[in-house]
Amino acid sequence: MRSVSIYLYVVLFLFVGISCSKFRKIEKSQDWRVKYDAALNYYNKKDFYKASVLFEQIIPIVRGLPEGEKVQFSLANCQFQQKLFLLASEQFRTFYETYGRSSLAEEARFMYAYSLYESSPNPNLDQTSSIDAMSAMQQFLNRYPNSAFRERAIEVILSTQVKLEKKGFENAYQYYKMRSYKASIVALGNFIDNFPDSEYLERAYYLVIVSEYKLAEQSIFTKQLDRYKEVVEHYKEFVDKYPGSTFLSDAEKLYASSLEKINKSKFNNS
C-alpha cells in the first residue's frame, strides 16, 4: 500500500515537472503565435495564472492586430479571476478605451466598475474605492440603461450604498463615543443630509438630541440657554418623523429636562 502511494507521488511529481518545463519552454519562445495559442489553451482550462503570464508578454506585439482585442479582454478577466481586482479594473478600462466599438466594450465597462466594487474594503476602512465603484457603475447604467448587466449593476450600487451608510454612521457615532459632542452633532447632521433613506436615520436623529443635551450641560452658562433650545427643536423634529420610536421615552426625558432648564433660566433672568 505504501509503495503504491510512493509511486503515485512520483508520477505526480514527474507530471508537474513536465508541465512546468513545457510552460517555461513556451514562455521563452520567440514566436508570439505559439504563446497566443498556448495562452488561450490555458485560459480555456481556467489556468489563469499561466494564461495571464503569456498574455502579458504578447500584448505589446498584438496591439493593433486582430488578436489584440481578445488578448486584452482575456488578460483583464485572468486578473479578475485571480482576484487582482485593481489590476483587472485597469485592464478592463484599457480595453473599452482602446476597443470602444467592440461587442465586448459594454461588458468591459461593467467589469471595470465591478472590479472596483470587488476591491472595496470592509466598512470600517477607507471607502474611496467604494465611492469610485458606485460612480463607475452609475455611469455604466447611464450609458447602457437596457444592459443585460443592469440588475447586477443595481445590486452593486445598492450594496455599496449600504456600506457607505454604515461607514458614515460609524464615523459620526465615533465622535459621540469620544464625547466630542459638538463634532458629533455636525457629523450626524451630515449623515442625515447625505443618507435620507438610511436604516440608521432614526438613531442618528435621536443621537443629535442626546449630543445637543450633553453639549449644553458642558457649556458655559451664557451658551446653555441656546443649546437647550436646540434640544427642544430637535426633539420636535424627531417626534414628527418618528412618533412611535423606541427612543421616544428617553428623548422625552431630555426634552422635559431642557424645558425645565429653559424656564428656570428665564425666571432667573427676569
The answer, yes or no, to whether residue 177 has pLDDT greater than 50, is yes
Who's near 4: CB < 8 A, 6+ residues apart?
Answer: none
- pLDDT for 136-162, tens place per residue? 999 999 999 999 999 999 999 999 998
Who's near 137: CB < 8 A, 6+ residues apart?
Answer: 110, 113, 114, 117, 153, 156, 157, 160
Q: State the pLDDT confidence band at 251, using cuts at 50, 70 and 90.
A: very high
Dihedral Cα 134, 136, 139, 145, nearest 10 deg: -70
Quote the percentage of the chain above a pLDDT of 90. Answer: 76
Amino acid at 89: S
Record the pTM: 0.76
- pLDDT for 47-99, tens place per residue? 999 999 999 999 999 998 999 999 999 999 999 999 999 999 999 999 999 99
Euclidean distance between CA atoms 157 and 191, whole angstroms:
18
pLDDT of residue 10: 41
Quote the percentage of the chain above a pLDDT of 70. Answer: 89
Who's near 185: CB < 8 A, 6+ residues apart?
Answer: 208, 211, 212, 215
Residue 90 burial (CB count, 10 A): 15
- DSSP three-state, residue 72: helix
Euclidean distance between CA atoms 39 and 52, whole angstroms:
7
Euclidean distance between CA atoms 210 and 91, whole angstroms:
49
Q: Sign of dihedral through CA atoms 19, 24, 27, 29?
A: negative
Amino acid at 241: K
CATH of domain 178-270: 1.25.40.10
Euclidean distance between CA atoms 40 and 245, whole angstroms:
60
Residue corresponding to grid cell 512546468: 20
